[in-house]
Structure formats: C-alpha cells, structure tokens
Amino acid sequence: MGGVLLFVVRDILQTRREASQSALSVPEQFSVAALGRVEPANGVIDLAASRTGRLGGLMVRKGDIVEADQILAYLDTYEVSKAERDYAASQLSEARAELVARTALGSSQIEEARTRIAQIDEPQRAAIQAQEATIQSLQAELDVAEIDLERFQRLNQSGAVSRQELDRQQATVNRLRAELDNAKATKQRLEQSRAADVENAVAQMRSTEANLTLAQVQSRVSSAEQNLAKAQSELDLTIIRAPKAGQILNIYADPGEAVSPSGEPILAMGDTSQMYVVAEVYETDVNLVRVGQTATITSRNGAFTETLTGTVEEIGLEIAKNDVLDDDPAANADARVVETRIRVNQSNAIAGLTNLQVEVVIDIDS
C-alpha cells in the first residue's frame, strides 16, 4: 500500500513539474517589430541665416534638386555687401598695380646706374692700359739710352767720342727719364680718377637701391588684401548655400520676412537620393538587432502600398524616449527605445515622404 502511494505522489509531482515548465516556456522570437520614421540620408538639414536681417530673395523652390555649395537664398543686405566687396577688390588691384610700377621703375633706375658705372669704368680702364703701354715703351727707350750713355762715357774717356756727343746722349737720357716719370704720374692720376668715379657711381646705384622703398606700397597691398578678405566674409554672411547635394524639402520664409541665426530656419533640405528609416526599437529587443539584418517596411495609412525592404546599417548607442507615437491609445507613449537606421532599397518610393510614420519588422534570423 505504501509503494502505491509513493508512486502516486511521484506521478503528481512530475505532472506538476511539466506543467510548470510548460507555463514558463517562451515561444522562440524570429523578428523585432518597431515603429519608425522616414528621412533622407544624413537626416534633414535646416538652413538658417548667418546674421539677423531680412530675406532678400529665394533662388530655389520646394522639390528642387541642388548641388553642393549652390546659392539658395540671399539676405537683403547682399547688394550692399557685394558693392563693398567689389570696392575692396578694386583697391587691392590698384595697390598691386602701383607695386608693380614702383618695382619696375626702381629696377630700371638701378639698371641705369649700373650702365653708368660701365660707361665710366671702361674708357678710363682703356686709358690706364694705354698709359701703361706708353710707360713700358719709354722704359725700353730709357734702358737703351742709358746703355748708350755708359758706352759714350767710356769712349769719351778714351777720346773716341767728343764731349758734345756725350752731353747730347746725356740729354736724351734725361728727357726719357722725365717723360717716363710724367707718364707714371699720368697713369696714377688716371687710376685715382677712375677709382673716384666708380666709387661715386656705385654710391649712386646703392642710393637708388636704398630709395627703392617698397615697404609702404607693400603695406598698402597687405592692408587691401585684408580689407578684401573681410568684405568677402561679410558678403558670404548674406548668402545661404547648400552644404551638400540634395533636395529642397520645405521653405519656411518668404522674401521680406525677418530672419536670424536663432530664429526659424529659412528652408530644409536632405539627400533624398538615398532614403532611410529610423526605427525605434524597444530597449528590451535591441540586443536581438544586428547590423546587416534585413527589414521590411510598410505604411499603415497607405502612403505607399508596396512592402519595402532594407538593411540595418547603424544601431544607436543610447536609449531615449520614443518620438514616433502609435495611433493606438493604449500604446505606451513613454517607451524607452534605441534608434536604428535602416537603409531602404526602394528609395524612390518614399523620396517625397520625409517624416512619414512606418511600421518596421526586422528579421533577426537574417
């Protein structure tokens, strides 16, 4: 009897254990569902004025495709700033032209001074060389005359030559000595004159170089360059340009309206050539999501009828309050989510639907 009772108790416990395990088991999860919003690649870019003023003109319309750095709008101070920039540019052009002219004039004056040195030096050098030749010729004649004088003196002592012939030879030697001394003195004067003239000409050339003071003109050029850079910066502040290629999504201001850096943006743009869906994945599901998983995107309100596909490209790094609210009143309006970016394969289908609410199902087995 005790054995039967033990068997019954074991059977009851086993049945209860199996029932408890069956109650605790959770069905295997194959996907993660989330709400999301549509946005262009790199999100929506709001462009505001760089300074307070009034909008002068719009160069684009909603839906226009624009290139990077394309002008989108002007402030009303654009024309005044442009005139100031053009004036600064003309001032710089004048300063540069004056610098070129001053430099050319100074160079020509220096070259003229160098030419004058050559004109002074070459003739005087030739005269000195000619005088040196004269000195050498007189020296040669004097050498011969002195030899003849010695011979006449010996002959006079022996009575072979008269005193008159000896005196005549002595006079010839004296004359040649005088002419030689005079030629040497003339050469010395020529050399001194040449040195003085060349020194004066060189001094004049150096004075011309020193007087070529371009510092003041160069300072004007530098100042004009700074003024132009400042005027260009002021002009750039009156222009709103596209920071990158994309499409104009919305225009918030009309010409004549007041705008400011801290006020409402002038327009919004984004790169709609590639669309993304930002899915708000619940914090309890985010550990199941991986980069590279595939996803399907549908519209609950019929904004598009086909089922779109995409790939998880980026998973956020922080948990925040959800922005996309479910239409169901019973849905959690204060859920904690992680934004997950999904690259959509059919961008054309939603290129004009930025901020549209969509439903996303991520295949976690993919």
Q: For every one of its 366 residues, what pLDDT tens digit does the chain have, with 9 covering 90 and above?
A: 444 433 443 554 455 555 545 544 545 678 999 999 999 998 999 999 999 999 999 999 999 999 999 999 999 999 999 999 999 999 999 989 988 888 787 777 777 777 777 777 788 888 889 889 999 999 999 899 899 889 888 888 888 888 888 889 899 999 989 999 999 999 999 888 888 887 887 777 777 666 666 666 788 889 999 999 999 999 999 999 999 999 999 999 999 999 999 889 999 999 999 999 999 999 999 999 999 999 999 998 889 999 999 999 999 999 988 877 555 554 455 679 999 999 999 999 999 999 999 999 999 987
Say how far apart CA 203 and CA 192 lie, in whole Å: 16
**Residue 258 confidence (pLDDT):** 94
**Residue 271 confidence (pLDDT):** 95
Which CATH class, in words, describes the domain spanning 84-221? mainly alpha
First-last CA distance in the chain: 59
**Residue 174 confidence (pLDDT):** 92
**Residue 303 confidence (pLDDT):** 92
Task: Count CB atoms within 10 A of the CB of residue 180.
Answer: 18
Which CATH class, in words, describes the domain spanning 27-77+242-363? mainly beta
Q: Residue 41 has what DSSP assignment?
A: E
Question: Which residues are CB-neighbours of 306 under 8 A, at least 6 positions away?
Answer: 346, 349
Helix (H, G, I), strand (E, B) or coil at 311: strand
Task: Count CB atoms within 10 A of the CB of residue 148.
Answer: 13
- Residue type at 86 in one-letter notation: D
* Exposure string for 286-298, b = 16+ CB within 10 A, e = fewer: beebeeebbbbbe
**Residue 41 confidence (pLDDT):** 92
Which residues partner with 292 through β-bridges?
none
**Residue 29 confidence (pLDDT):** 75
Contact 38, 355 (CB under 8 A): yes
**Residue 88 confidence (pLDDT):** 95
Domain ranges across the chain: 27-77+242-363, 84-221
Distance of CA 225 to the CA centre of its chain: 16
Alpha-carbon distances of 239 from 70, 96, 113, 243, 302, rounded to whole Å? 10, 28, 54, 12, 40
Own/partner contacts of 53-58, CB < 8 Å, gap of 24 or more, are: 53/77, 53/238, 53/258, 53/259, 53/260, 54/256, 54/257, 54/258, 54/259, 55/253, 55/254, 55/255, 55/256, 55/257, 55/259, 55/266, 56/238, 56/255, 57/255, 58/251, 58/254, 58/255, 58/267
**Residue 6 confidence (pLDDT):** 38
**Residue 123 confidence (pLDDT):** 84
**Residue 111 confidence (pLDDT):** 78
